[in-house]
Structure 1
């Protein structure tokens, strides 16, 4: 049951709809979105006592149109942009590479929640995930069902491209589902969290609710475990994972270096023939590549003297196009390489068409609005043509619903980056490729609720090398599917 009440703070009154089935924390987040007073600084005066985070709203017997007093100091407002407002009709056609009125939605920061916002923006790039959520109906009352249901609600709003969205319900449900994200500091403020942990927990919860969706992310390996102190034959086995890890050492300069070194490790375990512990080497080769490849730069390590997850500041370059042919098992390498080479030929053809498109002159007889509409229509035709071209490179037996990458080739579609020196501080942002732009030039920068367009040069700068924006999670998508 929901009712309309009025929230009064600093002489201003705000109407708000309260869902009585939610807890006090959700109501506080609603108040925060209206008054800019963070939940931890709010004192909400109600008959029956002060509002607590875990309060049952039904216990306060709220009445329709009741006025509720809120005490607490608001955060400083963000300064308005100093440049003049520009309208689409006034822009030069060369600046119209995207629709300013149809940008993706930004997500409001609810107090150290940039780690969550960046994770959600990256996951939103997965078409299959959006489609499954769109059809989702909750069939239980468990915490994971609630989490996925509120994610569905959130993604529905993001699909409508509302200017900014406050992810209240999802944040509250996530903190109930995963209590580690409810940690507070000594002053009572919610702590900054590790975006990789949030990203992995959310993805795991989603995959647990949708049968078969994990096939779009699952990587499979063939392992060989060999004793380095005997001539015994290796023992073979199989593993799977939802991401690849790139551990960063003093010798790691490129992403591929870190990925390859991480597929080999040395362990110590008991050897029967020697009657003692012995050194073993485990090597892994990939036997299955998914459509979406998650890669985690392991940039944080626990530093005992500070009691924090400190950041490795080393610069590690990563490509826009990634070929994993050197990491796959010999049993599938030939087939993967054959399809990859066919895709390369299609890409060359597409690049020639892209260059021709960029040289096309706009008709001077059209208005700026008409030129923009024409450009948008031509871009969509070009994107569809390229999609059809890629299909010619795929084998007839390929099944898109398998969630597998038929080749070894990937394109970068999103990056979660961290700014700062520690996982417990700093700021997270997401950078996502504009997948409606076939030229691949435009990327969106998601700084919470502020969404801007950046070029590929900005993405290259996320390689790190200091306390500025450094890539933490990369998401690649199979080329051509």
Structure 2
């Protein structure tokens, strides 16, 4: 009995038919027929990390629902498609140039548009959003509504960014974005004004949430209890509310992200009381009842100053962690289960330390391989380690939780994935940048810095300096990803 297995190589997908008794060598030969990659150069990413020539395909428990990634370079001696006409460097424009290496694409600043560029780079690193965009086929042209047009232009832009062009021009998206949200088209002395990156990010996220149905990936839910301080015997009022972000409020005592979040979960407000027939103070306490897969944290750094008629900035230094645990902020209805899964996650991470250690060691000792072969070998091992970690974590979860389709964080722990920063003293001036973690680096040591079309690599220590404390780069938005995905 035969079955069909889908493989993916260099962005192309191939369907290969294999028999139940086919060996690993036969499988590799069939891959060669489809891709021109000789068996000795093939790196097949499956559980365990390697397909031996003598293995029977039926014993490998391959997932037929998802493409299997195959790394390797084709044999130039084998027949291939006709050679394309040669194009000279001086005959192509700047945006057609591809980077040599692994650097992501930068975005051209079109005049005070760093607020939008930094938001787009932060969104681009969210795989769930990119996958939904790739599948989106909304109406275009006259049949498209404003939101659909914006999402389609974002799909096109992300497609260009995925090809790792030297730099990408976001003019079309910017034009549609300003048409949909006129506040971003404000001018001063004939020039477009600088805008708030948090507002731009929120508008983009809201549009994507409605059009692509990705709200649940970002939705955090709260249970709110209001208690009248003047009448403690009065029944406590309970409400439930949703948000796409959690705020970090900053005052003179705020030194850490945890402090700012806790400040935002508790407040005192004044409202009318029917019993007293007058306004009185209420204490409001919020607890988290749902944790999303992607957590957006907003540092509330800007406030309106009447004397200057501008949004001024709170420059205070507020440190944030690379790993964020929200267990203490959870409602009792979900707290114990989240903590239990968190502890299991930590145990699995410790069990995989040896694999990571071996990976680092092999990177230093693989001097015999060419740069391309070494890159392929590292990608293979990296995929293998991540696959084992995900499989172990999936097995530890309660029945009913599927990591492939989950939109909620099964534990209480997050890992930092991206940071949007602001340099300057006012939201209407200064400069925005974004910093994104390199997902191919297991240690989290390498990050990408996006300064519009200038892209560079920075280390973890640089990210720690983004806590603020002056007019230099300070974190405005943090994007955390659920640990274990």
Q: Under TM normalisation by the shorter chain, which class is it? A: 0.7 to 0.9
1:381: which partner in 2? 384
Q: Which is worse superposed, 313-322 or 300-309?
A: 300-309
SS at 1:297 equivalent: strand
Q: 1:283 aligns with which of 282, 285, 301?
A: 285
Whole-angstrom distance in 1 between the partners of 2:369 and 2:226: 68
CA distance change for structure 1 residues 363 and 237 in 2, over 3 Å: closer, same or farther? closer
Give yes or no for the alignment of 1:181 onto 2:181.
no
In 2, Cα distance between equivalents of 1:335 and 1:162: 45
1:324 offset after TM fit, Å?
Answer: 0.2
Aligned equivalents of 1:244, 1:250: Cα separation in 2: 20
Is the alpha carbon distance of 1:181 and 1:374 closer, same or farther for their aligned partners in structure 2, counting shifts above 3 Å? same
In 1: Cα distance, 2:209 partner to 2:307 partner: 38
Kindly provide the CA deviation profile for residues 291-333 of structure 1, in whole angstroms up to 9, marking residues without a partner as x: 0000000111111222211111100000000000011101111
1:15-414 paired onto structure 2 within 5 Å: 101-139=101-139, 140-186=143-189, 188-211=190-213, 213-230=214-231, 231-360=233-362, 361-400=364-403, 401-414=405-418
Whether 1:420 aligns to 2:424 is: yes
Distance 2:437 2:113 in 1: 22
CA contact (8 A) 2:196 2:427 kept: yes
Q: Secondary structure at the match of 1:337?
A: helix
Counterpart CA distance in 1 for 2:144 and 2:416 is 37
Using the TM superposition, give the Cα deviation of residue 337 of structure 1 relative to its aligned residue in structure 2, in angstroms: 0.5
> Per the alignment, in what secondary structure is the counterpart of residue 288 of structure 2?
strand
Q: Which residue is 1:31 aligned to?
A: none
CA contact (8 A) 1:119 1:430 kept: yes
TM-score by length of 1: 0.77
Offset at 1:364? 4.0
Question: How many residues of Structure 1 are paired with residues of Structure 2 in the alignment?
Answer: 381
What residue in structure 2 maps to residue 68 of structure 1? none
Q: CA deviation at 1:274?
A: 1.3
After superposition, residues 425-444 of structure 1 pair within 5 angstroms as 425-444=429-448
Deviates more, 1:140-149 or 1:395-404: 395-404
8 Å CA contact 1:434–1:443 kept in 2: the answer is yes
- Answer with 348-357 or 197-206: which moved more: 348-357
1:477 CA displacement: 0.6
Q: Output the CA distance in 2 between the equivalents of 1:108 and 1:271.
A: 55
CA contact (8 A) 1:225 1:234 kept: yes
Matches of 2:367 and 2:415 in 1, distance apart? 36
| SS of match in other structure, 2:433 | strand
1:131-170 Cα deviation digits (max 9, x unpaired): 1111111224221111111011111111222221000100
Task: Report deviation, 1:383.
Answer: 2.8
Is the contact between residue 383 and residue 436 of structure 1 (CA under 8 Å) also seen in structure 2? no
**How far, CA to CA, are the matches of 2:256 and 2:100 in structure 1?**
35
Q: What CA distance in whole angstroms lies between the structure 2 residues aligned with 1:364 and 1:460?
A: 33
| Cα shift at 1:338 | 0.2
Deviations 1:206-248 (A, max 9, x none): 111123x111110111111110001212011111111000111
Report the 3-state secondary structure (helix = DSSP H, G, I; strand = E; otherwise coil) of the residue aligned with 1:123. Answer: helix
